A and B are shown apart, each in its own frame.
Chain A
Amino acid sequence: MKERFAEKIYIGVLAVTQPDGSIVPLRLIWPDGRNWEIDRVLDVRPGVARKAGGEGVRYLCRISGHERELWYAHGQWFVEGGEVKE
C-alpha cells in the first residue's frame, strides 16, 4: 500500500531569537502574503515531516485556535500542505 504524502510549502515566518539561541515564531506568512499570528508554541523538538518530506526542528503551534506544525530546517520554514492523491 502506498503511503499518503503532501505538498511541502515554504513559508515566511516572523520570529524572535532568544538570548539562549532558541527561535520563537510569532507570525506565519503564506506565500501569497496572507498572514496569521501564532498564538502559542506548544512544543519544540527535532522531528520529521512524514507527509511532505524533510526533517528539522518541529514547532507545534496554536494558530487561530488550530494546532499546526511548522518545521525549521537549514534556514527555511515550511509546513505540510494538503495531501496529494496519485
Chain B
Amino acid sequence: MFLFVGCFLCIGIRQKGGVGVGRVILHCDANSFYASCELVYRPALRGQPMAVCGSTEERHGIVLAATREAKKWGVKTAMVNWEAKLVCPDLITIPPDYGRYIYFSRRLRDIYEQYTDRVEPFGLDECWLDFSDETTTLTDGVLLAKTLRNRVKEELGLTLSIGVSFNKPYAKLGSDLKKPDATTLISPGNYRNVVWPLPVDSLIGVGERMRRKLAARYVLTIGDLAAQSPRAMHAWMGKMGVILQRYAAGEDSTPVMRTVDEPEVKSIGNSITAPQDMYTIHDAYCVMYVLADSVGARLREAGMRGKCISVSVRDVDMRCYGAQKSVEYFTAQAEEIVPIAMRILNMKGFDTLLPYRSLGLSVGSLELNTKPMQMDLLGDAARRDRLARLHEAVDSIHTRFGERAIERGLALANPLYNTIIPRVEHVVHPVGFLR
C-alpha cells in the first residue's frame, strides 16, 4: 500500500512537471554540532545552558556553538564570550576539541556513504546526499531521512535536521526550517507556499550585504527573487544574479559531487590571531615563520609544492588586506616562503598598517612534488636540496615525538607567538558553495 502511495505521489510530481523532476537531494545538518559532540561525552550537562567557546586569553573568545537551552537565553553563535555570559549568567563554557569534531564528522560521513556514494560535505556538520535515480521518489527521500536520523541518534548521539528536495539550495533551506531532529520536505508541489514567502536571506548565497542590495529594489522574499527575469538580474549583478535567481526559482541543477570527485586542493594555508598584537615587523616575521612552518609541513604531507604565495593581514580595527605573488620555482619550505611573504608585506605597504591582529599565509598554484623540477641556472640547487632533506628529518621528528620536540631558535624570540601550532589546531571551514 505504501509503495503505491509513493508511486502515486511520484506521478503527481512528474505531472506537475518542469522543475527538477526526478532528483532526490537530502541536506543533513547536525544540530549545534560542536555542542552536541561535547554532550555525547558529558551527559551531566544535558539540559543545561552550555556553549563551546574559543579561548578569551588567545583572543578567540567567541561562542562557536551553543545548546538549545543556551539559545533560549539568547546565546548566539559568534557572540563574544562576555556578552554570552551577560545574557546567560549560568552559561557553562567549554573549550573546543577540534579533533573530536573531525572524528564525529568522519563518522557521520561513513554512515551517509553506506546509502549513497554521492555525498558532498559542506563544512564539518553538513552534507548533501543525492539519491536520484529512476525509481527513488521524494517520499522515499523522506523515509531515508528518517532512517538516517534514527541511525545517527543511536550510533553517535547527535540529532540531524534534514531537508529533502529536488535541488541543493532548497534541500539546504529545508534543513534550516525545522530544528532539531526533524525532516522538511520541499517538493515541486509545495515550494511556492513553503519557500517563496521566506525572507530572501534564508537562501544560500544571500548574505547581509546581498540582502541589503536586493532590498533596495524591494526584492524582499525568495518569491520576489524568483520572479525577477534572469536577464534583468544579469544586468544588475552579473553572473551571480542569474545564479541566485535560479536558486530562488528552484531551477538549480548543480550536481552533488561524488565522494571520489572531491575537488583537488587548490591551495594550502593557515592564519593566526596572535595571542598579542604584532607591533613590529619583527613580530610579524616571527608569526610568519610559525605559519610558514605549518603550511610547509602540510604541503609536504600532501606531497605538494606551490609557487603562488598569498598573505592576508587584519589590523587592530579588524580591517583585512591581502596580496599575492608568484615566484619562479615551486616550494614547500618555510625558509623560501617567508622572505617572499615579507617582501609582499613590504611592497604592498602593509608594514604601515602595524600593529596587526592576525596574519594569514597560503601557498597556491600547486603541483605534485614528484614531478621533475626545472633547474635554475643561477639558483642554489644544492642548498635547496639540503633544505628539503632537513625538513624531511624535522617532519619525521615531529611525527615521532610531537610538535614541540624540535623548534626553531626564532621561537625563543617571543615565546608567546609560539604557543599556537596552526598545523595541529587548524579548523576546517565550509568550502564556498558558489564555486
Q: A52 near B43 (CB under 8 angstroms)?
A: yes
A53 neighbours in B (Cβ, 8 Å): 40-44
Closest 9 CB pairs of A and B: A48-B157, A46-B155, A5-B43, A53-B43, A53-B41, A3-B46, A2-B47, A5-B44, A3-B47
A-B contact count (CB 8 A): 40
Q: 20 new A-B pairs (CB below 8 Å) besides A2-B47, A53-B42?
A: A2-B46, A2-B48, A3-B46, A3-B47, A5-B46, A45-B154, A45-B155, A46-B154, A47-B154, A47-B155, A48-B154, A48-B157, A51-B43, A52-B43, A53-B41, A53-B43, A54-B41, A55-B40, A55-B155, A84-B44
Residue from the set A50, A54, A55 with the largest chain B CB neighbour count within 10 Å: A55
B156 within 8 A of A: yes
- Considering only residues 33-47 of chain B, those with a C-beta below 8 Å from chain A are 40-44, 46-47
Contact flags (1/0) for A21-65 with B, using CB distance below 8 Å?
000000000000000000000000111101111110000000000
Q: A48 near B42 (CB under 8 angstroms)?
A: no
A1 neighbours in B (Cβ, 8 Å): 47
Q: Report how far A47 CA is from B40 CA in the complex, Å.
A: 11
Q: Report how far A42 CA is from B228 CA in the complex, Å.
A: 61
Q: Report how far A6 CA is from B43 CA in the complex, Å.
A: 8
Q: B43 near A55 (CB under 8 angstroms)?
A: no
Query: Is chain B's binding surface mostly helix, strand, loop or mixed?
Result: helix
Q: A55 near B157 (CB under 8 angstroms)?
A: yes
Residue from the set B43, B46, B48 with the largest chain A CB neighbour count within 10 Å: B43
B46 neighbours in A (Cβ, 8 Å): 2-3, 5
Q: A48 near B156 (CB under 8 angstroms)?
A: yes
Contact flags (1/0) for B138-161 with A, using CB distance below 8 Å?
000000000000000011110000
Contact flags (1/0) for A2-22 with B, using CB distance below 8 Å?
110110000000000000000
Given contacts A45-B155, A47-B154, whether A54 and B40 have CB atoms under 8 Å apart is yes
Name B residues whose Cβ lies closer than 8 Å to a Cβ of A: 40-44, 46-48, 107, 154-157
Q: B47 near A48 (CB under 8 angstroms)?
A: no
Q: Report how far A48 CA is from B41 CA in the complex, Å.
A: 9
A51 neighbours in B (Cβ, 8 Å): 43
Q: A48 near B48 (CB under 8 angstroms)?
A: no
Residue of B nearest to A1 (CB): B47
Q: Report how far A47 CA is from B155 CA in the complex, Å.
A: 4
Residue from the set B42, B154, B156 with the largest chain A CB neighbour count within 10 Å: B154
B155 neighbours in A (Cβ, 8 Å): 45-48, 55
B44 neighbours in A (Cβ, 8 Å): 5, 53, 84
Q: How far is the CB of A16 from chain B (nearest CB, A)?
A: 24
Residue of B nearest to A51 (CB): B43
Q: Report how far A29 CA is from B371 CA in the complex, Å.
A: 55
Q: A50 near B43 (CB under 8 angstroms)?
A: yes
Q: Report how far A17 CA is from B157 CA in the complex, Å.
A: 27
Q: Report how far A45 CA is from B43 CA in the complex, Å.
A: 21
Q: How far is the CB of B70 from chain A (nearest CB, A)?
A: 15
Partner of A3, one of B43, B154, B157: B43
Q: How far is the CB of A45 from chain B (nearest CB, A)?
A: 7
Q: Report how far A46 CA is from B103 CA in the complex, Å.
A: 14
B40 neighbours in A (Cβ, 8 Å): 48, 53-55
Q: Report how far A3 CA is from B46 CA in the complex, Å.
A: 7
Q: Report how far A51 CA is from B47 CA in the complex, Å.
A: 13
Residue of B nearest to A3 (CB): B46
Q: How far is the CB of B115 from chain A (nearest CB, A)?
A: 15
- Show 11 A/B contacts (Cβ-Cβ < 8 Å), sorted by A: A2-B46, A2-B47, A5-B44, A45-B154, A48-B157, A51-B43, A52-B43, A53-B40, A53-B42, A53-B43, A55-B156
Residue of A nearest to B41 (CB): A53
Q: Report how far A53 CA is from B155 CA in the complex, Å.
A: 12
